[in-house]
Amino acid sequence: MGEVLELRALSRHYPAHRALDDLSLTISEGEFFSLLGPSGCGKTTTLRLIAGLEQATRGTILLRGESIEQRQPYERNVSTVFQNYALFPHLTVWENIDFGLRHRRGGRPGGADKRIAEVVEMLQLGGKADRTPAQLSGGEKQRVALARSLVLHPDVLLLDEPLSALDPNLRKQVRDELKALQRRVGITFLFVTHDKEEALSMSDRIALLNAGRLEQVGTPREIYQQPRSRFAAGFLGAVNWLNGVGVRPEATRLSEQRPTNACRVFEAVVESCLFLGNCLHVETVLPGGEHFVAELPYSDGAFQSGGRVHVWWRPEDELRLPA
């Protein structure tokens, strides 16, 4: 498994602000790689730079070792699945999928029809090949967009927030399908999202971006459990902060009796205790006025509002991060 895509000091500057600044990243063959971050962090810009839809101000893009940042989008072997799918309304599903094959530099490849049939089958679009986009559901449109790109066997498939346009109920199912698809096809996926749950559940590795800069790269577990900045910690989940130390709510323990073998113990008053079904969401206030949230598995009973509790956690669950 070698490197398929490398970004070196990639930047996109505008007169008023820097959409992307000095991004360096390596993505391996067959990876499901996510770009995660709040809106405006530069993740979509990165995607568009790789696709060639925008020109970088500085930096290099290497696809399988070849520098491609000077090439036109139709000269790059990467393919984009757009957020709104961008299906051609005047063409049928079949013609949409056929589009890239028709415009190949060497002419339409010999086994094109077969390839299209295969990808139609794989994405469960059988029987819909003659329809136009207007006659498709949201989920079907997305699959056509995927098919259209996959049939070209790109080195990297770029996906721009593909789940955000879907019904929330559909999202989890499509998430699983996408992950399975990637495994099956083996193509490198570069996935852009602002939803941490999506990124965490689907990715082999995640790159966290903030305000145009790379915050951290790592596996989901690494980024979640060993965030290297307050931003990273806060973006991936909730954190309680106290004197430069952070503790996640699910690592925060509560007990009425004072725990005997713990070293980080604080007294607190319960503000509210909400039963969320699968957990108990308890908000407390420490003597110094700091708010601590604990998320406890339901079996730990209930806490009265106004009651006194002890808040404690294991030292290994601490996140020591500079402010």
Partner 1 sequence: MTRPRLSSGRLRAMFLTPAAALLAALFGIPMVILLAYTFLTRGAYGGVTAPWTFENWQRLADPLYAGILWKSFAVAAAATLFCAGIGFPLALFIARSERHRSLYLHLVILPFWTSFLVRTYAWMFLLRDTGLVNSVLLKLGLIAQPLPLLYNYGAVLLGLVYTYLPFMVLPVYATLERMDRSLLEAAADLGARPLQVLWRIVLPLSKPGLRAGSILVFIPCLGAYLIPDLLGGGKTILVGTLVQNQFTTARDWPFGSALSMALMGVVLLLMLPLARKDGAAGGDLL
Partner 2 sequence: MTSSGASVSLAASPMRTSRWLSTYAVLVYLFLHLPLAILMIFSLNGSRFTVWEGFSLRWYAEAFGDQELLESTLNSLIVAVTATAIATAVGTLCAYALWKRASRWMAAGLALSLVTPEIVMGISLLAFFQWIFGHFDFRLGMHTVVLAHVMFSVVYVVTVVLARLRTMDPLLEEAAMDLGATDWQAFRRVTLPLLAPGIGAAALLAFTISFDDYVITSLVAGVDSQTLPMVLYAMARRGANPVVNAISTLIVALIGTLILAAERLRER
Q: Which residues bind partner 2 (CB under 8 A)?
A: 19, 44-45, 47-48, 52-55, 72-73, 80, 82-84, 86, 160
Choice between 77 and 83, CB closer to partner 2: 83
Tokens of 68: 């491609």
To the nearest whole angstrom, how small is the minimum distance from the Cβ of residue 55 to partner 2?
5
Closest CA to 218 of 231, 234, 207, 210: 207
To the nearest whole angstrom, how small is the minimum distance from the Cβ of residue 76 to partner 2?
11
Distance CA 9, CA 224 (A): 25
| Residue 15 touches partner 1, criterion: CB under 8 A | no
| Residue 80 touches partner 1, criterion: CB under 8 A | yes
Among 4, 36, 49, 51, binds partner 1 (CB under 8 A): 51
Helix (H) or strand (E) holding 101: helix 93-102
Closest CA to 119 of 98, 102, 134, 136: 98
Other beta carbons within 10 angstroms of residue 65's beta carbon come to 9
Tokens of 13: 């500057």
CA distances (Å), origin 174, targets 64, 139, 198, 225? 29, 8, 11, 27
Choice between 100 and 162, CB closer to partner 1: 100
Choice between 76 and 175, CB closer to partner 2: 76
Using the rule CB under 8 A, give the single segment among 5-13, 99-107, 196-204, 257-265 that binds partner 1.
Answer: 99-107
Among 53, 185, 211, 279, binds partner 1 (CB under 8 A): 53
| Residue 82 touches partner 1, criterion: CB under 8 A | yes
Cβ–Cβ under 8 Å, residues 233 and 322: no
Bridge partners of 36, per DSSP, are 193, 208
| Residue 112 touches partner 1, criterion: CB under 8 A | no
Sites of contact with partner 1 (CB under 8 A): 51-53, 72-74, 78-80, 82-84, 86-90, 99-100, 103-105, 148-149, 152
